[in-house]
Amino acid sequence: MKNPFENAMEQLDKVVKVKNFNPEFIERFRRPNRDVKISIPVKMDDGSLKIFEGYRVEYNNALGPYKGGIRYHHDTEINEVKALAFWMAIKCAIANIPMGGGKGGIAVDPKVLSKGELERLSRGWVKGMADILGPKKDVPAPDVNTTPEIMDWMADEFEKITGDKTRATFTGKPLGKGGSEGRGPATGLGGFYVFDSLRAQLGLPEKCKVVVQGFGNVGLNAAEIFIAHGHSVIAISDSKGGVYNPNGLDINKLIEHKKTTGSLSGFPESTNLTNEELLEVECDVLVPAAFENQITDANAPKVHTKAILELANGPITPEADEILFKKGIPIMPDVLANSGGVTVSCFEWEQNLKGEHWSEKEVFDKLLIMMNDAAQKVFENGKKYSTDLRRGAFILALERIESKM
Ligand code: NAD
């Protein structure tokens, strides 16, 4: 399988076949402005010293300061971070926020660290990166396995090093510590707004049967929001597997079940599923909300959905993309569908810089307008260039970035 950055470049290749861009711009856009790798020494609780690898890729800042999350995962490596930073540049342009694209990470399984070790590691990442960060330079945020508490440690460390008290250098902070109302559910909610904006145009029923892969921040919030709007979630999974009920799952009870048993399986009135089986369940909308490269040329022919809402980053390989396109399954692409998170992160940055605190209603109202506008512009581009929504989205982003560069 190709690495995520090779997949991202393949997406770019496909876009320039549909629309002509200045070749020099495209050549420049094939490389990040800067990628930084640091070694982070951490004193472990047992007194030993461990060195971790940390990354920050600053892809493109034509539209504003670099913006993008920090991921803690044992598989994190430079090509993954580069791809995620590239997608952030595209995503911020589609969302029409004054931000460029960046991404960071640490190769670590945070679950094996104590809280103290995790805090020292997180502060270590900031010490190593402080020179390149700042509210007008590079503004990180949470991603997989990084939490508001971690963002708070990082913001605190940055303030200690630089004296900058705006707290605008990190977003996704806890409420009361510079965080924005609504940041928690923002990605899932923004994804729902995209779906809702395009539902009728994509020929989807008023009440959809939805399958969600992932039971974390994004997947769980999305599941709850779909149900709150009258749709049913008939299957959902976490890393260990999933559960299926064709009449719809009760998500609150499922959360309780996972709390008490430690897993989703064995949930009453449901059938256990493997993650492979979950992606093949017949449904109206399939929502990958876990990790990249989940739908490949091997399983794409077995996908039985009317549409896909990509809330994870890069869950569908370019080969699978082609197969699904030929099957006539529209994909609301990640760079559009999960841009609600970075949009509310941008709201948080703006509030910090202005010393304001907006209500949740204000945040969600603004988010709705922006997601709706982005979804419709992407849809129009798809029609205008007789192509899929992913290429339509990339064209919108590349036009905005190119004109600024
Ligand atoms: P998270 O760590 O909160 O949740 C990830 C979930 O995926 C967990 O429930 C985990 O058990 C599950 N999982 C892992 N491997 C799986 C597998 N093979 N099959 C099924 N489930 C699996 O992370 P998150 O913040 O929800 O992020 C999920 C995805 O959304 C990532 O691709 C991330 O980059 C993307 N994303 C997140 C945000 C955000 O605001 N958090 C914004 C944009 C994009």
Residues with CB under 6 A from ligand 1: 143-145, 187, 213-219, 237-239, 275, 289-291, 311-313, 338, 341
Residue with CA closest to ligand 1 atom 33: 312
The mean of the pLDDT values for the chain is 96
Residue 47 pLDDT = 98
Residue 69 pLDDT = 96
β-partners of residue 134 are 138
Half-sphere exposure (Cβ direction) of 168: Cα atoms closer than 13 Å: 19
| CA of 294, closest atom in ligand 1 | 18
Residue 291 pLDDT = 87
DSSP states of 257-308: HHHHHSSSTT-TT-EEE-HHHHHTS-EEEEEE-S-SS-B-TTTGGG--EEEE
Using an 8 Å Cβ cutoff, are 241 and 272 in contact? yes
Residue 290 pLDDT = 94
Residue 159 pLDDT = 98
Ligand 1 centre from 213 Cα, in Å? 9
Q: Is 163 left (phi over 0), alpha (psi -120 to 50) or beta?
A: left
**Active site residue: 67, 91, 103, 173, which one?**
103
Q: Give the tokens for residue 388.
A: 């899929």
Mean pLDDT of 298-302: 97
User: What percent of the chain is modeled with pLDDT above 70?
Assistant: 100
| CA of 242, closest atom in ligand 1 | 20
pLDDT tens per residue across span 47-77: 999 999 999 999 999 999 999 999 999 999 9
Pocket test for ligand 1, best of 192, 211, 239, 342 (most atoms within 8 A of CB): 239
Residue 328 pLDDT = 95
pLDDT tens per residue across span 331-356: 999 999 999 999 999 999 999 999 99
Does residue 1 register a pLDDT over 80?
Answer: no
Return the higher-pLDDT residue of 142 and 292. Answer: 142
103 among known catalytic residues: yes
188: confidence class by pLDDT, cuts 50, 70, 90: very high
**At which residue do the structure tokens 């004296």 appear?**
163
C-alpha angle 111/249/242, rounded to 5°? 40
Residue 2 pLDDT = 82
Residue with CA closest to ligand 1 atom 8: 216
Using an 8 Å Cβ cutoff, are 43 and 118 in contact? no
Residue with CA closest to ligand 1 atom 5: 216
Pocket test for ligand 1, best of 73, 74, 143, 243 (most atoms within 8 A of CB): 143
pLDDT tens per residue across span 100-115: 999 999 999 999 999 9
* pTM greater than 0.75 (yes/no): yes
Using an 8 Å Cβ cutoff, are 296 and 320 in contact? yes
Residue 292 pLDDT = 83
